Amino acid sequence: MTTAQTQIATDDEEALILAAVRELVAEKVAPRAAEIDATGEFPWDIKELFAQNDLLGIPIPSEYGGLGGTFLTYVKVVEEIAKACASSALIVAVQELGMLPIVIGGSDEQKHRFLPKIASGEHLVAYALTEVSSGSDALGSMRTRAEKRGDAYVLNGQKIWITNGSVADVVCVFAVTDPAAGSRGVTAFVVEKGTPGFSVGNIEKKMGIRGSPTVELVFQDCEIPAANRLGEEGEGFKIAMKVLDKSRPGIAAQALGIAAGALDYATNYAKERVAFGKPIGQHQGVGFMLADMKTEVEAARLMLYQAAQRCDEGSADVTLWAAMAKLKCGDVAMSVTTDAVQVLGGFGYSADYPVERMMRDAKITQIYEGTQQIQRLVISRKLVGRA
Ligand code: CAA
């Protein structure tokens, strides 16, 4: 593995990183996956493993302590981890999601202040956009307020569904600074753990990704220095949207990894399980299912890698491709894991086999970072505009 200071420049370096990640996953992550799901506890050991192997700051520029890697390398790493454990893959993906507002909206001073500790894994970071009434309608229904008082802002409100919110050292929070200004009335801030008035509320009990804490964050007269504002007042919503353009491929990678992991397991099972005198994969009913699953996984992978390359190129159509990749990979994750359960029959429905967990984990990829309906909205607006 290269050091945190090294720029990833070549395909060879990417291949080395991926080979190392595969080894880590096989030796350390896969054996923990069922336990992480069963206990529902954040896997600090896995987070440390990723930190020690420089996996928590892959796309952070090397001048701020990251690997300076490409988005393509980053999504491939998330995919590899998600093949074995979706909760563990989310540690890498949410570190990227959380640091992106700083990369996109932060000043050089803020990048030097926050990014090195995020890249090294000393600090975990979260992204706080969603509220009780503002999920899909992130802008129109945002209620968290930030009022300027002297050289500080005072935050009041709640955020919900915040992945890693209870374990994060820093949280990028979006709040309304001017209720009359619409999309130009939202501002982004970095809130540091331990700031008076900032606390963790309800912790969700979830169907899947159980090793990844999803929490409510409460801001009650929470005073933060103006030096923690990202960008100018009113730039927050655009920062939030630009972040999602680059983070949705990370969730697409998680989805693809879950699907690929389920396909591998179902394929091996179909080669070994015998019914009516031959392996079940040799029966057309099962063989054709596997053929469709494989085709969908490979189609999703092509789309995801295209989206990631467009992120790397700074392409103008990154919003479109990020949404299409998330849509395709999320739907493939759900259909392939459901079919994997079917291939295993009764065993697939048992928690003793991993495809049951994979099917539960897949569902969230159709919901978070914008539901599949929101991805379709984004895509269709790019095609035909809006009224
Ligand atoms: N890049 C830059 N600017 C953008 C943009 C983009 N991709 N998308 C929108 N904007 C700008 C628009 O140009 C517009 O600017 P002006 O007002 O200056 O013209 C402004 O932002 C408002 O845009 P819209 O009018 O399109 O806003 P809207 O209210 O119609 O909503 C939306 C747009 C796409 C539906 C958006 O609200 C959205 O993406 N919703 C889903 C939210 C979401 O994905 N939440 C996920 C939370 S994070 C999470 O889930 C993480 C996790 O747990 C792991």
CB 142 within 8 A of CB 110: no
The mean pLDDT of 297-319, rounded to a whole number, is 97
Tell me the CA–centroid distance for residue 238 and ligand 1, in Å: 7
* Residue bearing the CA closest to ligand 1, atom 14: 183
Give dist(CA 344, CA 273) in Å, integer: 9
Q: How far, in Å, is the centroid of ligand 1 from the Cα of 138?
A: 7
| Residue 118 predicted with pLDDT over 60 | yes
Which amino acid makes up residue 46? I
pLDDT, tens only, 145-202: 999 999 999 999 999 999 999 999 999 999 999 999 999 999 999 999 999 999 999 9
Q: To test ligand 1's pocket by mutation, which of 133, 238, 376, 381 has the most ligand atoms within 8 angstroms of CB?
A: 238
Pocket residues for ligand 1 (CB within 6 Å)? Answer: 94, 97, 127, 129-130, 136, 138-140, 161, 163, 183, 237-238, 241-242, 244-245, 319, 368-370, 374, 377-378
pLDDT above 90: residue 367: yes
Q: Which CATH class is domain 237-384?
A: mainly alpha
Tens of pLDDT along 235-265?
999 999 999 999 999 999 999 999 999 999 9
pLDDT value at residue 26: 98
Q: What is the CA radius of gyration of the chain?
A: 21
Q: Where are the beta strands (DSSP E) in 120-196?
A: 125-128, 145-149, 152-163, 170-176, 186-192
Question: What span, in angstroms and rounded, lies between the C-alpha atoms of 309 and 2?
Answer: 22
pTM of this structure? 0.96
CB under 8 Å to 221, separation ≥6 — which residues?
A: 154, 156, 197
Domain boundaries, the chain: 3-120, 125-234, 237-384
pLDDT tens digits, one per residue of 69-88: 999 999 999 999 999 999 99
Split at pLDDT 50, 70, 90, the class of 139 is confident
Helix axis angle for 318-344 and 354-364, nearest 10°, is 150
Query: Binning pLDDT at 50, 70 and 90, where does residue 3 land?
Result: very low
- pLDDT tens digit sequence for 21-76: 999 999 999 999 999 999 999 999 999 999 999 999 999 999 999 999 999 999 99
Whose CA is closest to 83, among 260, 329, 341? 260
Q: Is 371 left (phi over 0), alpha (psi -120 to 50) or beta?
A: beta
Record the tokens describing residue 227, joined without a space: 């030096």
Nearest CA, atom 23, ligand 1? 183
3-state class of 278 per DSSP? Answer: strand
CA of 241 to the centre of ligand 1 (A): 5
Note the Cα 12 to chain centre separation in Å. 26
Ligand 1 nearest atom to the CA of residue 319, by list position: 7
The amino acid at 257: G
Residue from 164, 239, 241, 378 to probe ligand 1 pocket by mutation (most atoms less than 8 Å from CB):
241
CATH node for 125-234 = 2.40.110.10
pLDDT of 231 higher than 70: yes
Handedness of CA 296, 299, 304, 305 (dihedral sign): positive
Mean pLDDT of 294-322: 97
Closest CA to ligand 1's atom 26: 378
Active-site residue, 79 included: no
| pLDDT confidence tier of residue 1, bands split at 50, 70 and 90 | very low
Between strands 186-192 and 125-128, the pairing is unpaired
Asked if residue 12 has pLDDT above 90, the reply is no
| Residue located nearest, by CA, to atom 43 of ligand 1 | 370
Contact yes or no for 62/6 (Cβ under 8 A)? yes
CA of 228 to the centre of ligand 1 (A): 22
The dihedral over CA atoms of 72, 375, 259, 347, expressed in degrees to the nearest 10, equals: 160
Q: Which is nearest to 212 in space by CA: 166, 160, 266? A: 166
Q: What is the mean pLDDT of residues 132-142?
A: 89
Work out the average pLDDT over 13-18.
94
Q: Which pLDDT score, from 0 to 100, does residue 52 have?
A: 97
Quick one: 240 exposed, middle or buried, by C-beta within 10 A (0-12, 13-18, 19+)? Answer: buried
CA of 58 to the centre of ligand 1 (A): 25
- Side chain identity at 277, as an amino acid letter? G
Task: Report the atom number in ligand 1 closest to the C-alpha of 163.
Answer: 53
pLDDT-based confidence at residue 8 (cuts at 50, 70, 90):
low
Q: How many residues does the chain have?
A: 387
Q: Out of 1.20.58.100, 1.10.540.10, 1.20.58.220, 3.40.50.1110, select the CATH number for domain 3-120.
A: 1.10.540.10
